[in-house]
């Protein structure tokens, strides 16, 4: 796609070519005593223009200015080629634009060299003999070389802006491809595949990082006799233990601290005999659920071998199995609100 900088640079270069083309054949490079002097002819005030003598200085000025005009025309051709390449989208035109910038600089340098030689060798000699002044042709050449330098600068700026845009687009495309590859997974021979075991990184990193950290309960057994210092067999990493651990307990299904509903001091006498099957004292029990309507043994552990993963009532926080109850630092079934002992 053609940028505005390319159009502006090409327009400036064309304007410079037009100005220097007008300046070359005209006879208004210098004026003295009513006479006018150009690069090719001299016109006295009485009329009857004649050719300028082929001096070395004049030939150098002619060569430099003509070379600048020709090189500038080559720059226009290069820019037109760049526009064609941009339209066809076959090849990037940034190198052609840089070539056009270099050609514009070279053309301006040639014209500048010719103007300098004319000012030093021709204009100063005339000024010592006559009251000489510079004409409009000289100033047209000066304006042309300035515009050519500006067009070269515009080409360079446009190329830099295009390169930045291209790099930004390439970086964004790479990020989108990586994101798409992560979302779609590893693909082998065009089909989904796995190059390694799909292990959740947060869990593995936390387990390795906090393996010997007693402040975390993340699946490893801390070396402590603290009531809360037990092994976590779930994947929710417990936060740092709080100071009010006697009043709160970590709920592994809600993944947050919840108030402890069982008083710490509620413990049955140690002399009480417990049923070896369920760990309950001998006698008849009436099961009462203080939160939900379902009150039965499976609420805290339905089988002697282990408890349920989730509480049937879904309301009693922090207690989901027989092991959970013991790990919180209480005797087995020591809550009088859950199990009331009745003798007949």
Name the residue among 7, 339, 17 with its Cα closest to residue 147: 17
- H or E segment at 43? strand 41-43
Write the CA distances from 260 to 205, 247, 249, 288, 330, integer angstroms.
Answer: 30, 5, 6, 18, 12
Q: Which two tokens stand for residue 23?
A: 């300046």
Count of residues making up the chain: 344
**Cβ neighbour number for residue 115 with a 10 Å cutoff:** 23
Q: What is the pLDDT of residue 327?
A: 52
Residue 132 contacts residue 30 (beta carbons within 8 Å): yes
- H or E segment at 285? strand 284-287
Q: Any idea what DSSP says for residue 237?
A: P
> Measured between alpha carbons, how far apart are the two ends of the chain, in Å?
96
Q: What is the pLDDT of residue 163?
A: 84
Distance CA 94, CA 96 (A): 5
Per-residue pLDDT tens digits of the chain, which is 344 residues long: 567 788 888 888 899 999 999 988 888 888 877 778 888 888 887 777 777 777 788 888 888 999 998 989 988 888 887 777 777 665 556 677 888 888 899 999 999 998 888 888 776 666 555 566 788 888 899 999 899 999 989 888 888 888 888 888 888 888 887 776 666 555 555 555 555 544 444 444 445 555 555 555 444 444 455 555 444 444 444 455 555 555 666 666 666 777 665 444 444 444 444 444 444 444 433 333 334 334 333 334 344 434 343 444 343 444 445 555 555 544 444 444 444 444 43
Name the residue among 265, 282, 284, 264 with its Cα closest to residue 273: 282
| b/e per residue 81-93 (b: at least 16 CB within 10 A) | ebbebbeeeeeeb
Distance CA 20, CA 61 (A): 13
Distance CA 80, CA 103 (A): 14
- H or E segment at 133? strand 132-134
Distance CA 147, CA 111 (A): 11
| Inter-helix orientation angle 94-117/56-88, to 10° | 170
Write the CA distances from 146 to 79, 105, 141, 319, integer angstroms.
Answer: 19, 10, 9, 86
Q: What is the pLDDT of residue 41?
A: 82
Q: What is the pLDDT of residue 252?
A: 63
**Cα atoms in the 13 Å half-sphere on the side-chain side of 201:** 1
Distance CA 238, CA 219 (A): 9
Chain mean position to CA 145: 41
Sheet holding 30-32, edge to edge: 50-51, 41-43, 35-37, 30-32, 132-134
**Cβ neighbour number for residue 155 with a 10 Å cutoff:** 31
Sorted by where each starts, the structural domains of the chain and their CATH numbers stand as: 4-184 (1.20.140.150)
Question: Which residues 6+ apart lie within 8 Å of 283 measured at CB?
Answer: 341, 342, 343
Residue with tokens 């002044």: 133
Write the CA distances from 239 to 210, 213, 250, integer angstroms.
Answer: 11, 12, 9
């Amino acid at each position: 796609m053609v940028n505005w900088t390319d159009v502006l640079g090409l327009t400036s270069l064309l304007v410079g070519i037009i100005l220097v083309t007008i300046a070359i054949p005209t006879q208004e490079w210098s004026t003295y005593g009513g006479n006018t002097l150009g690069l090719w002819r001299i016109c006295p005030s009485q009329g009857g223009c004649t050719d300028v003598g082929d001096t070395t200085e004049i030939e150098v000025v002619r060569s430099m200015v003509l070379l600048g005009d020709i090189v500038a025309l080559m720059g226009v051709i290069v820019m037109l080629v760049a526009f064609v390449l941009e339209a066809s989208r076959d090849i990037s035109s940034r190198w052609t634009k840089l070539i056009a910038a270099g050609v514009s600089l070279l053309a301006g340098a040639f014209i500048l060299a010719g103007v300098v030689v004319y000012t030093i060798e021709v204009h100063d000699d005339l000024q010592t003999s006559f009251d000489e002044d510079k004409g409009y042709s000289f100033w047209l050449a000066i304006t042309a070389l300035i515009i050519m330098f500006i067009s070269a600068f515009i080409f360079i700026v446009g190329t830099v802006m295009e390169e930045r845009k291209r790099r930004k687009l390439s970086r964004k495309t790479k990020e989108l491809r990586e994101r798409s590859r992560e979302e779609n997974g590893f693909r082998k021979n065009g089909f989904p595949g796995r190059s390694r075991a799909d292990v959740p990184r947060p869990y593995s990193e936390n387990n390795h990082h906090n393996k010997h950290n007693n402040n975390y309960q993340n699946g490893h057994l801390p070396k402590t006799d603290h009531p809360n210092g037990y092994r976590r067999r779930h994947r929710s990493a417990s936060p740092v233990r709080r100071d009010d651990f006697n009043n709160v307990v970590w709920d592994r299904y809600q993944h947050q601290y919840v108030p402890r509903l069982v008083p710490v001091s509620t413990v049955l006498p140690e002399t009480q005999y417990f049923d070896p099957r369920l760990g309950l004292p001998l006698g008849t029990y009436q099961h009462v659920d203080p939160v939900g309507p379902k009150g039965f043994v499976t609420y805290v552990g339905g089988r002697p071998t282990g408890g349920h993963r989730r509480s049937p009532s879904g309301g009693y926080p922090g207690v989901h199995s027989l092991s959970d109850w013991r790990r919180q630092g209480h005797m087995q079934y020591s809550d009088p609100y859950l199990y009331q002992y009745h003798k007949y």
